Structure 1
Amino acid sequence: MSEAIVMPKLGMTMTEGTIVEWYKEVGDSVNKGEPILMISSEKLNQDVEAPITGVLLTKNGEVEDELEVGATIAVIGDEGETIVTNDLQAVQSDSPAIPESSEASGNTADIANTKEKKSKGDRTFITPLAKKMAKAEDLDIDLIKGTGGNGRITKRDIQHALASRVDDTPPAPPSPTPAIAENVGEGLPPMRKAIARNMRRSLAQTAQLTLHRKANADHLIDFQKVLRKEIESSELDVKLTLTVLIARATVLALQELKKMNSLYHDGQLTEFDEVHLGIATSLKDGLLVPVIKDAHQKTIGSLAKEIKDLSEKAKNGEAGGDLLSGSTFTITNLGASGIEYFTPILNSPETGILGVGAFQDELTLTENGTVKSVKKIPFSITFDHQILDGASAAEFLTILIKYIESPYLLVL
Structure 2
Amino acid sequence: MKEIKIPELAESITEGTIAEWLVSKGDKVEKGDPVVELETDKVNVEVNSDFAGVITEIVSEEGDDVEVGDVIAKLDENGEAGGEASEEESEETSSSDKEEKAEEKKEDKQEEDKSEDKEEAQIEDTDETPGKNEVIASPAARKRARELNIDLSSVQTRDPMGRVRPEDVEDAAKGGSEKKESKSKPSKKEESKNTEKTEFDKPVERTKMSRRRQTIAKNLVNVQQESAMLTTFNEIDMSAIMKLRSERKDKFLEKHDVKLGFMSFFTKAVVGALKEFPLLNAEIQGNEIVEKKFYDIGIAVSTDDGLVVPVVRDADRLDFAGVEKEIGELGKKARDNKLQLKDLQGGSFSITNGGIFGSMLSTPILNAPQVGILGMHNIQKRAMVMPDDSIEVRPMMYLALSYDHRIVDGKEAVQFLVRIKEMLEDPYDLLLEG
TM normalised by structure 2 equals 0.64
Return the offset for 1:32: 3.5
Quote the Cα distance in structure 2 between the aligned partners of 1:75 and 1:182. 33
SS at 1:330's partner residue? strand
CA distance 1:247–1:187, change in 2 (3 Å): same
CA distance 1:223–1:182, change in 2 (3 Å): same
Report the equivalent of 1:220: 241
Q: Quick one: which amino acid aligns to residue 180 of structure 2? A: D
Return the offset for 1:59: 8.2
Return the offset for 1:332: 0.8
Quote the Cα distance in structure 2 between the aligned partners of 1:52 and 1:409. 59
1:54-93 aligned at under 5 Å gives the runs 63-66=62-65, 71-74=68-71
Q: Does structure 2 retain, via aligned residues, the 8 Å contact 1:274–1:294?
A: yes
| 1:170 matched to 2:187 | no
Report the equivalent of 1:290: 310
Report the equivalent of 2:251: 230
Q: Quick one: which amino acid aligns to residue 47 of structure 2? A: V
| 1:5 matched to 2:9 | no
SS at 1:38's partner residue? strand
Q: List per-residue Cα deviations over 1:261-296 (Å, max 9, x = no partner).
A: 123356654221111111111123422222211212
SS at 1:170's partner residue? helix
| 1:273 matched to 2:273 | no
1:351-370 aligned at under 5 Å gives the runs 351-370=371-390
Count of residues in correspondence between the two structures: 331
Q: Does structure 2 retain, via aligned residues, the 8 Å contact 1:19–1:37?
A: yes
Quote the Cα distance in structure 2 between the aligned partners of 1:231 and 1:360. 26
Q: Does structure 1 retain, via aligned residues, the 8 Å contact 2:58–2:74?
A: no
CA distance 1:211–1:38, change in 2 (3 Å): same
Quote the Cα distance in structure 1 between the aligned partners of 2:317 and 2:244. 21
Return the offset for 1:46: 3.0
2:276 maps to which of 240, 252, 256: 256
Quote the Cα distance in structure 2 between the aligned partners of 1:350 and 1:181. 32
SS at 1:273's partner residue? coil
Question: Which structure shows the bigger proportion of residues in helix conformation?
Answer: 2
Return the offset for 1:323: 1.7
CA distance 1:79–1:298, change in 2 (3 Å): same
SS at 1:317's partner residue? coil
Q: List per-residue Cα deviations over 1:10-60 (Å, max 9, x = no partner).
A: 8x6x56433334445799754343223222233333323335556779988
Where does the alignment leave 5 or more consecutive residues of structure 1 unmatched?
Answer: 82-110, 116-162
Q: Does structure 2 retain, via aligned residues, the 8 Å contact 1:23–1:37?
A: yes
Q: Which structure has the greater CA radius of gyration?
A: 2
| 1:383 matched to 2:370 | no
SS at 2:365's partner residue? coil
Q: Does structure 2 retain, via aligned residues, the 8 Å contact 1:354–1:381?
A: yes
| 1:203 matched to 2:224 | yes
Quote the Cα distance in structure 1 between the aligned partners of 2:429 and 2:390. 28
Return the offset for 1:397: 0.6
TM normalised by structure 1 equals 0.67
Quote the Cα distance in structure 2 between the aligned partners of 1:170 and 1:249. 55
Quote the Cα distance in structure 1 between the aligned partners of 2:379 and 2:184. 52
SS at 2:339's partner residue? coil
Where does the alignment leave 5 or more consecutive residues of structure 2 unmatched?
Answer: 79-144, 150-175, 197-205
Q: CA RMSD in A?
A: 4.0
| 1:343 matched to 2:363 | yes
Quote the Cα distance in structure 1 between the aligned partners of 2:70 and 2:284. 30
Q: Does structure 1 retain, via aligned residues, the 8 Å contact 2:60–2:73?
A: no
